[in-house]
Structure formats: structure tokens, C-alpha cells
Amino acid sequence: MKVYVPADAAARALGSDDVAAAVQAEATRRGLDLTLVRNGSRGMVWLEPLVEVERDGVRLAYGPATAADVAAILDGTSAKALGPTDDLPWMKKQTRLTFARVGLIDPLDMAHYRAEGGLVGLERALALPPTEIVQAVIDSGLRGRGGAGFPTGIKWKTVAEAKADQKYIVCNADEGDSGTFADRMLMEGDPFHLIEGMIIAGIAVGATRGYVYIRSEYPDAIRVMRAAVGIGRKAGLLGPSVLGSAYAFDMEIRVGAGAYVCGEETSLLNSLEGKRGVVRAKPPLPALEGFLGKPTVVNNVISLATVPVIFEKGAAFYRDFGLGRSRGTIPLQIAGNVRHGGLFEVAFGMGLGEIVNDIGGGTASGRPVKAVQVGGPLGAYFPSSLFDTPTCYESFASAEGLIGHAGIVVFDDTADMLKQARFAMEFCAIESCGKCTPCRIGAVRGVETIDRIARGDTAAIPLLTDLCNTMKAGSLCALGGFTPYPVMSALTHFPDDFARAKEAAE
Amino acid sequence: MPVADVLEPHARQTLDDILRAHAADEGPLLPILHDIQAAFGHVPQAVVPVIVEALNLGKAEVHGVISFYHDFRAEPAGRSVVKLCRAEACQAMGGDHLAHHAERKLGVGFHETRADGKVTLEPVYCLGLCACAPAAMVNGRLVGRLDEAAVDRIATEVLA
């Protein structure tokens, strides 16, 4: 008998360790021949801890489980039974490519990884000349999943064509945006997949060293990734000869130190070099002068973890999913005040309203949805009147927003949008690296100006708009440049929240 | 508390071991500082001149790095550390209200340590538990779907 109890951080935060201990204890008490697997999460966080029992090759789901449910779950009589996991609507509606194995396998079991299609992509890539690897990534249409949406293959081509004695692959795992947890789930649930993607990147561009920069707020992901790198070295996946080939590649896990701005690629590189996480002016591009001044690929976790899929299934297969210039799939993270929160991987193009209402099931509080923030603290707040916006880079940009890392945070009608706008400015002021004036000073003035509006001074509204334009046009990176998105969207779509204070003052 | 300018011999040995372990690293300063904080509970001022010497950096440069990052503490934390997420997804689930409740129950404000040293309360901007908000980390243990009762249990635990 095989029982799966997730060790994903969200599952653990909801008590999965207690459930796992209860499974072990009950098995011992009954003298059962039971294998307990601590898998990643299937992404249905509202059902966590989600226990799965494998019977006749079918995985049956039970959740949300507590230690008290364990005996009945093992008997097959639990009221928490949900049926076969693969038949649950949440699973059936998805196209799980990047997250195919997350929640399915034991994250640190290399044999299990291989049995579920792991390393097929790398083996195919190893048979290709590096220029063809780069071309396949270009052909797949993959764009940076960290938020910027820059074509991954083009970035790789720049690094591949640069001449240098040493090049680097740097994985940006500084997933600091509220509402996002895809990187965390992938690293905790399928770490070899990310390693495989980084190796393919290394071979493609001629880099032999890689770093994963993980934020310190993710201790579980750090632990799993470090263990996976160790196992990868022993298995000959990492080291002087990747899977017996002529290519060398090795990598290291590095830990951030609580600075949000280090999610910006140049600031991340400075941090990795042991400096203050201050943004660098571009050019030079990191592709030409990156880590320690050497040509460097900086890619997000999801971008790199999608690369093996492109080689396993083919560039055309991947490109055939999606909408317009947004090709492939996007792991949506549905969060905040939502009934069914979690990770949902789907082809680009699904409408925002469908995600919030049909997939997410509306608010957790049962109250009407007021606003949805997409793309983290730098993303716009969308009112329900914009719920027909399809998820793709271009339509979000034309709606004065961004898709970012595809985190979707739902707020009910108790949210005060002036307060949310103020928080955006305050967060920018706290986290600004200080290099450029529009961000460093602008964010502080932004908080003050919003406070004036809150006191009923409507003359400050045009001032706020003007300030936002300055920050947008004059900031060096996305922190100062995109903070206007949540602020201006709150002001534009929810003007009543900015006028209410005036009424109170009169 | 007087500021120790020079490390005790035992502490100096620990620091030298840490510096040696990272001698071959590319960009070793952050890993070194993390190890120092793990060993001493904070980053004491007295380590700065030693790091300066070992890495051939300026004093201002090392101080600048230590002060830039939220993680590095100048003073030891309380016996327990409670980190409460204050970011948007947790705000959407009543995180602000819960934060005030936590301040009252723990008897300490954010960024502060209680006078009796029992607990330090810190804000954290996202633990990646946004689909089971509000979330907290109590001495390294994650807690999701927090409510007032859960905060009360945490307070009882850390103030015992």
C-alpha cells in the first residue's frame, strides 16, 4: 500500500506533518506494509493536506485531512473521500506541462523522476548541436515567466554568441511577489526538473556553472534543492561529464537575505556577487556582462523548468498552446480571498473572470469580488468590469496592467483601494534600493500624497497622477517603474474609495 | 549593552572556520553573513574588520551589505521569532486586523523584541502561502489559514 502525504510548504503549514506521522503510527499499529511518500502538492491548496492512497494503480484523494481522519482513510471509509485525483475537475481542466510531475512523484527519488519522463528532454538536447538547442527554444515561443516576458531563446542566443572564458546560468528563484508560489511549488515538488532545465541552458550557451538564487523566506525549497543537487552529482547528472557526455555542468544553491528588489535581475547579480542588491543600469545586458562581468543567462524558475518539456514533447507541440504572441502554458496562482486557491496550469488565453469565478469559485468570504490584483505588488488591480481580459502578455499590457509571474490575488468588497494604493507606495519606499531618484524619493512622496487625498484634499489627485508618470518613465527598474500600476489602477477603477474621505471631511 | 570591538577567542575561531569554508566561493559575502548569523544569532559589529581583512574589501562596503538586507540582525533576536506575513494576499484575508491582534497578544510591536526577551515580532513580505492566507512562521515552522484563535495559541506557546 502506498500513501502520499505532501511535504510542500503550504501542506505543511496546514498540518501535513501531523497527518504523515499519524499514517506512520497507524501503519505500525496495524502491522501494515505501507510506503509513505512525501510528495509535492497537486496545487489544490484548499484541500491540503491532501492525502492520496494508491489502490489498484489508482490514486484516491482525501482532503483536507487531519490526523484524526487517518484511520478511516486507510480503511477507505473516510467522509473526506474525493475520488480518483486525476478525475477531480481542477486536475482535468488543466494542461500540466511544466508541473506535470509536481505532486505526482517523490521529489528526491531520481528513479521515480525518470519513470515519469524525467531526463528525456536532456537526453534529446544532448544529441543536438548547441545552436539547434537555442533554435528549438526560440521556435517554442517561450517567454520569460518571471514577468518581463522577454523571449527566452533570444536571450540564450545572445549569451551563446558572446565570447568568454566562463559563462553562467543564473536561476532567479527570488519569488517575492505576493500571490505567487509557482517557483516554490516547483522547487519543492520537482527539483530535478529545474536542474535539468539549467543543464540544457548551460549546454546551449556554453556555460559550465549555474546558481539558483532562492529567497530566504523559502527554507523548504532551499533544503529540497540542495538535496537534489547532491543527488544529481552522485547520479552523474551534474559534474565534469553530464550523463557521460562531453559537457560539464555544476551548480550551487544560494540564499537571498530578505530584499524584495533582488528579484530584479541586475540587483540579483549584485547580491550574488556579495554586494548590496542595487540595480545596475542596462546596458550592458547581463547576457553580455552578468555575474562577475561574464555572459550570463538569468531566467526564472518556471522558464527554465519549461525547457525540458520543449525537448521532450517538441517545440511545435509547446508553441501550439496559447494565444497571440503568448505561447504555451502559464501556471496561474490563485490566491487571497478565494474559495478554491492554488496552482492551475493552463494554456494562455483564459479570461480573468473565468479564473476567479469558475476555477477559483469566487471569494472565500462569500462576499462579492471587488478587485483582483494580478502580477504581485507591482501589478494592477482589475475590477470585475475587466474580467473578460484574456491571460496573455499583450492584453494585460493594453489594460494598463501586467501578467507578471501570474499570481492572482482576489479581494472582496471590504477592501479599501486607497489603502491598497498607499501600501503599494509604502512597500516601494521600504524596498527601494535607492539608486534612482524617481523610486527612492517618489515612493515616499507617493505615500504622503495619498495621505493628503485620504484627508480629503482632492487637489492632490492630479499630483499623484503626475508623480506616477514620473516614476513610470524615470525609474531604473520595475520596482519604481511598475509601482504606479497598482496605484493608478486603484485610482482609475475605484475612484469612490479616493473620494470617500472628502465626503467625511465635509 | 557595550559593543564588543574584538571577538572572544572561541567566536574568532568560529568566524575563521566560516571564512575558510567559503574561501573558494564566487561572491562569498552573503553565504558568509548567513553562516555568521546562524552561528551567533546576529551579525556582531566585531566581525566586520575580520571580513574586511579576509575578503580585501572596504569597511564601508561590508557595513553597506550588512545594513542593506532585512535578514541580517545587528542585535540578537528574542527566544522566539514570530514572522507574520503582511503582503497583499494575506491582507485580502484580514491580515491587517490579525497583525494588530498579534501585537496585542504578544505584547510587542513589529520590528521589536519584548523587554523580557521572550519574542521578536517581524513582518515578512510573502511566505508563498498565498492560497492559505493569512500565514506566519513561528521559529521556522509555517502556519497557514491563521485566525485569532491560532494567534492566541502561538502567543501562549511562545510566552510560556
Q: What is the pLDDT of residue B6?
A: 82
Going by pLDDT thresholds of 50, 70 and 90, the confidence category of residue A501 is: low
Whether residues B63 and B91 share a domain: the answer is no
Domain membership flag for residue B3: no
Question: Is pLDDT above 80 for B5?
Answer: no
Residue A143 confidence (pLDDT): 97
**Closest-CA residue in chain A for B123?**
A258
- pLDDT tier for residue A502 given thresholds of 50, 70 and 90: low
User: pLDDT tens digits for A46-70?
Assistant: 999 999 999 999 999 999 999 999 9
* Contact yes or no for B66/B76 (Cβ under 8 A): no
Q: Spell out the domain ranges in chain A.
A: 2-88, 110-319, 322-412, 417-505
| C-beta neighbour count of B148 within 10 angstroms | 13
In chain A, which among 6-65 make CB contacts under 8 A with chain B? 9-10, 12-14, 45-46, 48
C-alpha closest to that of A211 among A151, A266, A273, A259? A273
The torsion defined by the Cα of A249, A253, A259 and A261, in degrees rounded to 10, comes to 20
Q: Which fold would CATH assign to domain A417-505?
A: de novo design (two linked rop proteins) (1.20.1440)
Say if the ipTM goes beyond 0.90. yes
* Segment A177-204, tens digit of pLDDT: 999 999 999 999 999 999 999 999 999 9
Cα separation, A393 vs A287, in Å, equals 23
Cα dist. B87→A301, A368, A373, A409, A480 in Å? 22, 21, 12, 11, 18
For residue B124, give the nearest of A217, A256, A259 by CB distance.
A217
Q: Does one domain contain both B63 and B14?
A: yes
| pLDDT level of residue A504 (50, 70, 90 thresholds) | low
CATH code for the structural domain at A322-412: 3.10.20.600
> What single DSSP character describes residue A47?
G
For residue range B102-111, list pLDDT tens digits in order: 999 999 999 9
Mean pLDDT of all residues in chain A?
96
The model's confidence at residue B57, banded by pLDDT at 50, 70 and 90, is very high
B126 annotated as belonging to a binding site for a ligand: yes
B132 is in an annotated binding site: no
Q: Which domain holds residue B119?
A: 80-159
pLDDT at B2 over 50: no
Residues B116 and B138 in one domain: yes
Q: Of B40, B68, B96, which one is at a domain's C-terminal end?
A: B68
The answer to whether the Cβ–Cβ distance between A181 and B30 falls below 8 Å is no
- Tell me the three cell numbers of residue B91: 491582507
Domain count, chain B: 2
Look at A335 and B89 and tell me if their CB atoms are within 8 Å: yes
Q: pLDDT digit string (tens) for A305-351?
A: 999 999 999 999 999 999 999 999 999 999 999 999 999 999 999 99
Judgement on whether residues B31 and B94 belong to the same structural domain of the protein: no
B96 & B119 share domain: yes
Closest residue, chain A, to B95 (C-alpha): A336
Using the predicted structure, report yes or no on whether residue B76 has a pLDDT greater than 50.
yes
Amino acid at A343: L
In the block, which residue shows the cell 511544466? A98
B19 Cβ under 8 Å from any chain A Cβ: no
| Gap between the Cα atoms of A405 and B6, Å rounded | 46
Task: Calculate mean pLDDT across residues A459-470.
Answer: 97
Q: What is the mean pLDDT of residues A225-239?
A: 98
Q: Which CATH class is domain A2-88?
A: alpha beta
Q: Is position B1 within any domain?
A: no
> If DSSP codes are grouped into helix, strand and coil, which group holds residue A426?
helix
Nearest C-alpha neighbor of A404 from the set A391, A423, A419: A391
How far apart CA A188 and CA A198 sit, in angstroms, is 16
B59 and B125 in a common domain: no
DSSP three-state, residue A325: coil
pLDDT band, residue B1 (cuts 50/70/90): very low
The CATH number of the domain holding residue B148 is 3.40.30.10
Q: In this structure, are B107 and B86 located in the same domain?
A: yes
What percent of chain A is modeled with pLDDT above 70?
99
Give the pLDDT of residue A503: 63
Q: What is the pLDDT of residues A74-111, one digit of tens each?
A: 999 999 999 999 999 999 999 999 999 999 999 999 99
**Chain A CB within 8 Å of residue B56 CB:** no
DSSP H/E element including A347: strand A342-347
Evaluate whether residue B136 is within a structural domain. yes
Q: What is the rounded distance in angstroms from the CA atom of residue A315 to the CA atom of residue A141?
A: 8
Q: Are residues B53 and B85 in the same domain?
A: no
B102/B50 same-domain check: no
Instruction: Tell me which of B19, B48, B68 is where a domain ends.
Output: B68
My answer on whether B139 and B95 are in the same domain is: yes
- Using the Cβ of A149 and the Cβ atoms of chain B, whether some distance falls under 8 Å is answered with no
Cβ within 8 Å of residue B50, ≥6 positions away: B7, B12, B15, B16, B19
What are the DSSP calls for A157-194, one per residue? HHHHHS--S--EEEEEE---STT--HHHHHHHH-HHHH
* B89 & B134 share domain: yes
| Same-domain status, B149 and B87 | yes
Rounded CA Rg of chain A: 23
Cβ A197 vs Cβ A305: under 8 Å: yes
User: Could you tell me if residue B152 is inside a domain?
Assistant: yes
CATH number for the region A110-319 comes to 3.40.50.11540
Report pLDDT for B140.
94
Residue A20: pLDDT band (50, 70, 90) is very high
